[in-house]
Structure formats: C-alpha cells, structure tokens
Amino acid sequence: MLKAIQTDLGIIRERDPAARGLLEIVLCYPGFHALAIHRISHKLWSLGLPLLPRLLSQVSRLITGIEIHPGARIGNGVFIDHGMGVVIGETTEIGNRCLLYQGVTLGGTGKAHGKRHPTLKENVVIGAGAKVLGAITVGANTRIGAGSVVVRDVEADSTVVGIPGRVVHQSGVKINPLAHSALPDAEANVIRNLMERIDQLETQLSNLQNSLKDISRGRIPDSISPGQAQSLKDKEIIEFLGEE
C-alpha cells in the first residue's frame, strides 16, 4: 500500500505542472486524498468487513467530492486531477498510470450483479465530464475526449470523442496525457463534409436549370462549371466550424 501511495505522489509530480512540492500534494490534492483513503477501504473490503469500508468511502466523498466504491480495483500511479464529481463504481478496474479529470463517471448499466462497470487498461486518459458506462474494456494508451459517452469496447491506442463515443483515431503513437487540444472535432468535420456536398449538388442543379433555360431559348448552353460554394460562407456555419 505504501508503495502504491508513493507511486501516486510521483505521478502527480510528473504530470501536473502546478505541483510545486511533495507537501503541497499531500495537503492540497483531493485526488491523492481520495486514492489514499480508497486503498485502505479496499483492503478492508477485501477482508470481508461489511460496513466500515463503505463508511470510509462516504467520508472520502464528503472531504474530496470524489466517490470511489471500496470494491473498485485501482492500479498504481493513477492520477485524479481536480476530481470534483468523479464517480467510480464497484466493479471498476483501473490500470496503472491512468489519468481521470473532473466529472468523470465510470458507471454501471442495469441492475444485474457481477461485473457491470468498465475496465481501463494502462495509460488511459479520460477528459472532463466523460462517461464510460457498462462492463466494457478500454484498451491501453487510449484517450477519451471531454464530455464523451462511451458504451462499447475500445481497442488500444485509440482516440474517442462524441456521444455516443466514436473512435476517430487509432495508432501506436504514445500520447501526451495533457494534450486535450489535439483531439479532433469529429462533428465539425462531418458537418463540413456534408455542407461541401450540398454546395456541389446545389451548384450542379443551378447550372442544369440555366442550361435548360438556354435550350428553351434556342441557345447553346454554356459548359457546366463547379461554381462558387455558398453554404460554407454563411456566417452561422463559419462561427460553428471555425475559419479553417
């Protein structure tokens, strides 16, 4: 247990540029407090004690704002950054060196007994407010974007965004756990592609109408050109998609 706590301290110093010293982490980091109390409550839970582990977890929730069921299995070097509103269910399994931001839920689905919460392999990063639900497995080195809802298994080395969560990138490249700005905007890309397709179809339709008018007047129609895209120039669309 002491080794696990030392590893938790080390990962905070490694990953959080705001951490200025060991004493500051011990006194001021609710994620560290929640994990330290959980390691005690989990040990008591493993011994079969009926009530004390749940009481400890409730005390931890009151102090830190982080709710971890004493039955959850959490590896070494896990970092809960800020942590307010994090919920970790009973049958959750979290691998070594995972990173969870505030508002993350590792929850169950249904009322069946047995395994009903997620399993996170090593080095998984879950962004603020994301929900990972059900007895699914998230592969190693995967990052889940803020606000995403994941309800299906995810293979290793993936990037997941959206509701429901979709894999938008997969590779063997090691990720930077703090690089949330590098996550792609899948919805904006889809909308951009749809608008470009609409532009193309509207231009073709307009050219065909002009050609029919020329034919009805006895003139040879001009050649059909792609024309200028208009939909992506609309102010509201530009504001949503950005200037790219």
Q: Give yes or no for residue 120 having a pLDDT over 90.
A: yes
The residues near 209 (Cβ < 8 Å, ≥ 6 apart) are: none
Q: What is the pLDDT of residues 123-150, one digit of tens each?
A: 999 999 999 999 999 999 989 988 889 9
Q: Give yes or no for residue 41 having a pLDDT over 90.
A: yes
54: tokens are 């749940």
CATH class of 2-182: mainly beta
pLDDT band at 203 (very low <50, low <70, confident <90, very high): confident
Strands 166-170 and 158-161: antiparallel
pLDDT band at 221 (very low <50, low <70, confident <90, very high): low
CA–CA distance, 38 with 20 (Å, rounded to integer): 24
pLDDT score recorded for residue 87: 94
pLDDT band at 209 (very low <50, low <70, confident <90, very high): confident
User: Where does the chain have alpha helices with state H?
Assistant: 2-15, 22-28, 30-46, 52-64, 186-216, 235-241
**Residue 196 φ/ψ, nearest 5 degrees:** -65, -40
pLDDT band at 93 (very low <50, low <70, confident <90, very high): very high
Q: Give yes or no for residue 9 having a pLDDT over 90.
A: no
Q: What is the pTM of this model?
A: 0.69
164: tokens are 């429901």
Q: Give yes or no for residue 223 having a pLDDT over 70.
A: no
b/e sequence 126-163, b meaning 16+ C-beta within 10 Å: bbbbbbbbbbbebbbbbbbbbebbbeeebebbbbbbbe
Q: Which residues pair with 166 in a beta bridge?
A: 161
CA–CA distance, 61 with 40 (Å, rounded to integer): 14
pLDDT score recorded for residue 2: 73
Q: Do 37 and 59 contact (CB within 8 A), yes or no?
A: yes
pLDDT band at 44 (very low <50, low <70, confident <90, very high): very high
Domain ranges of the chain: 2-182, 186-241
Q: Do 38 and 72 contact (CB within 8 A), yes or no?
A: yes
Q: Give yes or no for residue 230 having a pLDDT over 70.
A: no
> Count of residues for the chain?
244
pLDDT band at 204 (very low <50, low <70, confident <90, very high): confident
Strands 131-133 and 119-120: unpaired
